[in-house]
Amino acid sequence: MSSHRTDKVEQLIKEEISSIFLHKMQQPELGFITITNVKVSPDLKIAKIYLSVLEREKRELVMDRINNKTKFIRTELAHRIRLKFVPEIKFFIDDTQDFVEKIEGLIDRIHKENGNKTNE
């Protein structure tokens, strides 16, 4: 269960990292990147940042570039937020949309199969 403080820190980090991506890391070849979620450990020392990349084929490139810039991103974050310690940041691909699309595909297939059975 997360505390009110943890929730506020997560929201703050999400907003600031989004701003850093928008203003300091403009790289058109990476495509459209969205910060979907931030989870902070209870001691506020580690922040897991989940990204959505519009173009699936660019995910590996995006993760490589972002992981190479982690130190820069954390430094920028430190200049923008007021915390005793700026959390260590780790980036992950948010594959929720992939899961949703897979489930929708399965549901569509079931509906088509059921539609074929009722027509026979």
Q: What is the CATH number of the domain that holds 65?
A: 3.30.300.20
**Residue 98 has what pLDDT?**
66
Query: How far is it, in rounded angstroms, from Cα 91 to Cα 48?
Result: 6
Q: Provide the domain limits for residue 85.
A: 4-95
* pLDDT per residue as tens digits for the range 81-119: 988 889 999 999 987 776 667 788 788 888 887 776 655
Query: How far is it, in rounded angstroms, from Cα 63 to Cα 120?
Result: 50
In a domain, 91, yes or no: yes
In a domain, 47, yes or no: yes
**Residue 119 has what pLDDT?**
54
Residue that wins the pLDDT comparison between 99 and 1: 99
**The total number of structural domains that make up the chain:** 1
In a domain, 119, yes or no: no
In a domain, 113, yes or no: no
The burial class, CB within 10 Å (0-12 / 13-18 / 19+), for 53 is: buried
